Amino acid sequence: MSVLIKGGRVITAADDYVGDVYAEDERITLIGESLDVQADRVIDAAGKYVFPGLVDPHTHLDMPFGGTVTIDDFESGHVSAAFGGTTTHVDFCIQPQGTSFGDALEQWHAKREGKAIIDNGFHMAVTDLRDGGSLEELASLPEQGVTSYKLFMAYKGALMVDDETLFRTMQVAADTGALVMVHAENGDAIDVLVKEALAAGHTEPKYHALTRPPETEGEATNRAIQLARVAGCNLYVVHVSCRESVEPIALAREKGWDVWGETCTQYLFVDCSYLERPDFEGAKYVYTPPPRAKENQEVLWGAVRGDVLSAISTDHCAFLWNGQKTLGRDDFSKIPNGGPGIENRLHMIHEFGVRAGRVSLNRMVELLATNPAKLFGLYPKKGTIAVGSDADLVVFDPERKVTLSAATHHSKVDYNLFEGTEVTGTPEVVLRRGEILMEGDELVAKPGSGRFVRRARFGEELTSRAAAVM
């Protein structure tokens, strides 16, 4: 199968030119001006942008959490991702306590089998180094292409680890070259605040934010940075939501320490007042860290513009409002934590980042594709448009207007965080390894065609040849 994408405006993190992109057997083999080649399929991209397929480094598909399971599995989540221009994601394999890492990985591989449409890797979420996983087994994961370890510093009594587990994992990462990712919140302090709020009879969704003040995120971010320094590992702070967490990351990066961070689309748009929406609608915005006071949004835009934060992910962790979020109707601490977003990251950042003049097109591609690919061992196979890279491509119509809505999105979730938002610009054709996944409003991809990607270690490149021998 060969594809020629003709006359589009090709935009990578570094380049911006009008040209043709030709792909054969899954990879880009030629890029040039007015290429004189035959192809099985020619796509006229005149007046359109051509982006590399986007990479989402933070998602939770088919994940047991909060007494239920996230509503999007590896099929519905992937369809939704494809319609938003995302062709690769890295999902969290959660080690059930008392289970080995190998068994956890087996469970997560089974979840994607026969369903996957886009390509994906796994991070290993370490929950237990005593009764389940061993340090030796943890150290062997990068050989299987699982080159990042995630630790939750919150969710006491569920996923939270103590500082010993965090630090020991960091020491293993320093040896193996894996990247350590942290959910940075002080879970002990939050647990006290939640108990106090409930004892005082405060049960509404807004108490989700009031019991997780930004200082608890700032403290944990700083703690993780300092411990990573002692252990000598590379650190990535997920879903940064506020000034208190941006500042220690900025300081660390200024000093040249090996620290990176991401924010997520929702923190740039949703503020804590959404939690007060009547009739339990506020529960739609119960994700963690919580939506913050509005002034944090400009802090986050400044951080993504200035490279304090290197990526924007979605943290797609979708629960139905009706039937799942309602588990916490009488107690905010029982509302499953998480929000949807895998489909609308590009829509929102293009509209309110690029079109509003906050970030350039190149920087948008860097934040949504190239940096996630580089940080998570997927580059240059993924995350750019270059000869030899996978033909993961988004032909984007910058003129077409769409309204974001649960009525039209492809996730199974029954609400949209950005309901009713009008944007100009949407993917028109999305290709993964040269195969068309969606075109216009039609899904073309077949479930089971997405592949597991064995990722390179932090700082190493993932070429097709390297991927084949790993």
Which residue has the closest beta carbon to Zn ion? 183
Cα separation, 90 vs 317, in Å, equals 13
Check binding of 48 to Zn ion (CB under 5 A).
no
User: What is the binding site for ligand URP (CB under 6 A)?
Assistant: 60, 183, 287-288, 315, 317, 337-338
Nearer to ligand URP, 51 or 155 (CB): 155
Q: Which residue has the tokens 């293993």?
A: 172
Q: How far is the CB of 103 from ligand URP (least distance, A)?
A: 21
CA dihedral 407, 410, 411, 414 (to 10 degrees): 10
Q: How far is the CB of 134 from ligand URP (least distance, A)?
A: 25
Q: How far is the CB of 423 from ligand URP (least distance, A)?
A: 24
Q: How far is the CB of 214 from ligand URP (least distance, A)?
A: 15
Token pair belonging to 178: 């894996």
Nearer to ligand URP, 171 or 296 (CB): 296
CB 270 within 8 A of CB 285: yes
**Residue in 120, 128, 121 with CA at minimum distance from that of residue 162:** 128
Nearer to Zn ion, 126 or 431 (CB): 126
How many residues touch Zn ion under the rule CB under 5 A: the total is 2
Cα separation, 246 vs 221, in Å, equals 9
Nearer to ligand URP, 3 or 190 (CB): 190
What stretch of H or E contains 425? strand 422-432
> For residue 232, is it left (φ>0), alpha (ψ between -120 and 50) or beta?
left
Find the part of the chain contacting Zn ion (CB under 5 A) among 32-40, 113-121, 218-226, 314-322: 314-322
Helix (H, G, I), strand (E, B) or coil at 217: helix
Report in angstroms the alpha-carbon separations of 46 from 42, 50, 238: 12, 10, 37
β-strands 179-183, 234-237 pairing: parallel
Which does residue 115 bind out of Zn ion, ligand URP, none, counting CB within 5 to 8 angstroms by kind?
Answer: none
Cα separation, 193 vs 280, in Å, equals 21
Q: How far is the CB of 68 from Zn ion (least distance, A)?
A: 16
Nearer to ligand URP, 66 or 85 (CB): 66
Nearer to Zn ion, 112 or 123 (CB): 123
Q: How far is the CB of 315 from ligand URP (least distance, A)?
A: 5
- Tell me which of 78, 183, 374, 451 binds Zn ion, using CB under 5 A: 183
CA count, 13 A, side-chain hemisphere, 148:
33
Q: How far is the CB of 287 from ligand URP (least distance, A)?
A: 4
Report in angstroms the alpha-carbon separations of 274 from 123, 284, 451: 31, 9, 38
Q: How far is the CB of 105 from ligand URP (least distance, A)?
A: 19
Which does residue 216 bind out of ligand URP, Zn ion, none, counting CB within 5 to 8 angstroms by kind?
Answer: none
Check binding of 258 to Zn ion (CB under 5 A).
no
Nearer to ligand URP, 60 or 455 (CB): 60
Q: What single DSSP character describes residue 328?
A: G
CB atoms within 10 A of CB 203: 15
Token pair belonging to 447: 């479930």
Nearer to ligand URP, 12 or 337 (CB): 337
Residue 248's Cα: distance from chain center in Å? 22
Nearer to ligand URP, 338 or 380 (CB): 338
Which does residue 338 bind out of Zn ion, ligand URP, none, counting CB within 5 to 8 angstroms by kind?
Answer: ligand URP
Q: What single DSSP character describes residue 342?
A: T
Q: How far is the CB of 121 from ligand URP (least distance, A)?
A: 17
Q: Omega of the bond prior to 289 within 30 degrees of 0, cis?
A: yes
Cα separation, 264 vs 219, in Å, equals 20
Q: Which residue has the tokens 């995120």?
A: 217
Check binding of 89 to Zn ion (CB under 5 A).
no
Helix (H, G, I), strand (E, B) or coil at 430: strand
Check binding of 392 to Zn ion (CB under 5 A).
no
Cα separation, 53 vs 57, in Å, equals 13
Check binding of 315 to Zn ion (CB under 5 A).
yes
Nearer to Zn ion, 58 or 382 (CB): 58
Q: How far is the CB of 460 from ligand URP (least distance, A)?
A: 26
Find the part of the chain contacting Zn ion (CB under 5 A) among 183-191, 219-227, 247-255, 450-458: 183-191
Where does this chain bind Zn ion (CB under 5 A)? 183, 315
